[in-house]
Structure formats: C-alpha cells, structure tokens
Structure 1
C-alpha cells in the first residue's frame, strides 16, 4: 500500500504511555465491534486483523474472545510497536507482522484463517487495492471462515450524511483514487471471490459491517 497524504482526521492517534498510541475512533467503537464479533466470530481458531493500527482493537477483541489466537498486522513500525505494547500481557495475541495487504500473494503466509477482520481502511485505499485485499482474504480463509469488513460506505452509490460527504470530498481532494466505496460494489466483489455475504449490519456513526463467509467444503 503506497504511502498517501491523507486529511488530518483520517487516521488520528496520539502518544500514550509505554509506546502505546491512542486513536479516539478506536476508543469509541471498540465496544460495539466487540459486540459484533461476539455474534459473528468463531469460538476458537486463528484470527487475522489487517491494518491493526494502534492495537486498541485487536487487544479488546483478544480479551473478549480469549479462545481465538490473534495475529495483528500493520505496515507502520511505530504502530506495530504500539500493538505489541498493548498486547504484552495477552497470551493469545502474536507479535504484529509488517503485512501490506494490498500486495498480491500475501495469503500464502496466512492460510487457514478462521476469521479475518478489517476496520476503517477501504475508504483510504484505491479500488484496485480493495480488489486485491478481498481476493487475498478469500484465499487466506479456511473453509467456513468469516471475513468482517467495517467502515464507512456509500449506500447504493449515495453518501447519506453531511459528515460523510465532507470526509469523502476531503479524501478525494487529497487523492482521487481513494474515498468511500459503494456497498453494492463491495458485496458484488465478495461474491465474485466465492464469499457468501451473510449479513450487512448497520453500525453506529453511519458505518456498515459486512459479514462474509467462505463456503465449507
């Protein structure tokens, strides 16, 4: 994933204690995401988080779902250090890997995942990069594995709030290849990769969560 110049509110994190970074958005939505995963996550197995950011989410998930073994990933070294600091006392969180999920063939190193989760990234990358990620996710999942994709999206091609319109416009002004993706296009892309869209969940702050499943053999 190429380094992009993003609006200042696209990925905000401040420095906390012991190398931990604090992202206000992660602090706000960790509880609702834990509730979502409590409904849709497998009870045990391997879970991969793409673009783990500060590590707040993956550590909340690991505590909420202790029988899953979590593999966080993040391309930025400072954020990997933050993830590892948060996870230092958690037995079910591995050291963060420097995965760039927009590069083809990464699935070969992460086969057999029972769940893969991706939070608040798709609007910050291009459509071709989105296609690569979902294709690789489909190949990395074990049969019966689930993919949880969360973030802001257009509904039937339309931005449905003033806040979403302003943020999308700011993203596109910085880089015309990025911005909010359409919900129908995301669902179609998942189906094209032989993933079953089990449910699309309306989430707080006008976000969506796509729950997709790889067919069991």
Structure 2
C-alpha cells in the first residue's frame, strides 16, 4: 500500500498549525521540504485553503505516499508532490514560493541537507519576506536538553553518524550567511521547537 503513516503527525499537527496560522501569509504558495508520508501536507492544505500547498521529498516511497493521500483530498490547493533533495538547492524544481516549511528533517539528515535548505529557501523566497519555518528538537545554549532528546540524539547517531540534533546557534549562523535572521521561537509539545526565519531588511 502506498500510504505510509507517521504516528507523530497526529500528535503534533494541530500545534504546528497554530503556529503556521500566525506566520504564514494569507495567500500564495507554501513549499514543504521533506514532506514524508504526506499526512502533514493534507492536513495543512485543508487547514489553509487559501494557500497552495506544494509538498516535496527526495524519497520515491514518500512521493508515492503523498500522492496516495492527495488522491483522497477533496480540495484543489494541494499540488502533486515534487522530487526535491534539500541538499542540492541548485536543482530544486521550483522557482518561487511565499513560504517554506520543513518539519522533522534537520536532525534526520546529514548537515548538508540543512545547508542546502537555507540556500534553497533564500533563492525561492527571494525578497518576498516570506518565512522559513522549521520544526523539530534542537540543542540550545543555556537551556537544559531534555533527557528524552539526549536519548533520541544518541539513537539517531547510532543509526547514522551524520544525523543528530543540531545546535540552535549553528542554524542561526547558517541562516545569517544566507540573509536570514530568526524572528520567532515557539516552544512546542514533546520538547520540540518551531523556529521561524525571515530575510533581514535591507
């Protein structure tokens, strides 16, 4: 069966949608990077009918799952999924977006994917002022990391040494190199954060 299921999606989608309602533009195109199963894409497209939701992922299995969920979606604002590798921003098959959303990718991918994410987002957002919204667990200077997140970090690194929770200051540094600054930080359930980056004013 093409449809895949990520249990965390059902637990976090409402909380993420509350933040997106504050940060996304009222209309336009939202590019979702690493859309995974497609469950978030369907939920957010339904939640924000005035926005065109564009899911993407580098995995053929994920793309098939997204397409299967899309077949059951009654609205018209959910685009067909695109094959897109965050680590290769020069080959992203999209030229422009009004917002970029990336959920639970940064820690489950090599650091090169995060570097590419900021580079690609800088290009497709241009001077629109649109947000780059990241969700997931992070390590924050001066803030005690939850034991569950430390365990998760160790588990990720045991699966792939290139994975693991990233330090917030490292994300902020890469963001700055591409003209972004962090405009918002939201504490989320289960020791996660939502981070919002926007282009600095000229």
Q: What TM-score do the two structures reach when normalised by structure 1?
A: 0.85
2:77 paired with 1:81 = no
How far residue 76 of structure 1 moved from its aligned partner, in angstroms, is 2.0
Equivalent in the alignment of 1:181: 166
Unaligned runs of 5+ in 1: 1-14
Out of 171, 174, 177, which is 1:192 matched to?
A: 177
After TM superposition, the structure 1 = structure 2 runs for residues 97-112 of structure 1, keeping only pairs within 5 Å, are 97-107=82-92, 109-112=93-96
How far residue 199 of structure 1 moved from its aligned partner, in angstroms, is 0.8
Equivalent in the alignment of 2:135: 150
How far residue 128 of structure 1 moved from its aligned partner, in angstroms, is 2.9
Out of 55, 62, 70, which is 2:45 matched to?
A: 62
Distance 1:182 1:198 in 2: 17
Equivalent in the alignment of 1:24: 7
Output one character per residue of 1:56-85: Cα deviation in whole Å (capped at 9) or x when no partner. 101111111111111111222222122122
The verdict on how the C-alpha distance between 1:158 and 1:169 changes in structure 2, with shifts beyond 3 A counting, is farther
Number of equivalences: 199
How far residue 54 of structure 1 moved from its aligned partner, in angstroms, is 0.8
After TM superposition, the structure 1 = structure 2 runs for residues 126-165 of structure 1, keeping only pairs within 5 Å, are 126-143=110-127, 144-156=129-141, 160-165=145-150
Whether the 8 Å CA contact 1:153–1:159 is kept in 2: the answer is no
Whether the 8 Å CA contact 2:86–2:114 is kept in 1: the answer is no
Aligned-pair Cα RMSD in Å: 1.8
The verdict on how the C-alpha distance between 1:41 and 1:132 changes in structure 2, with shifts beyond 3 A counting, is same
How far residue 86 of structure 1 moved from its aligned partner, in angstroms, is 1.7
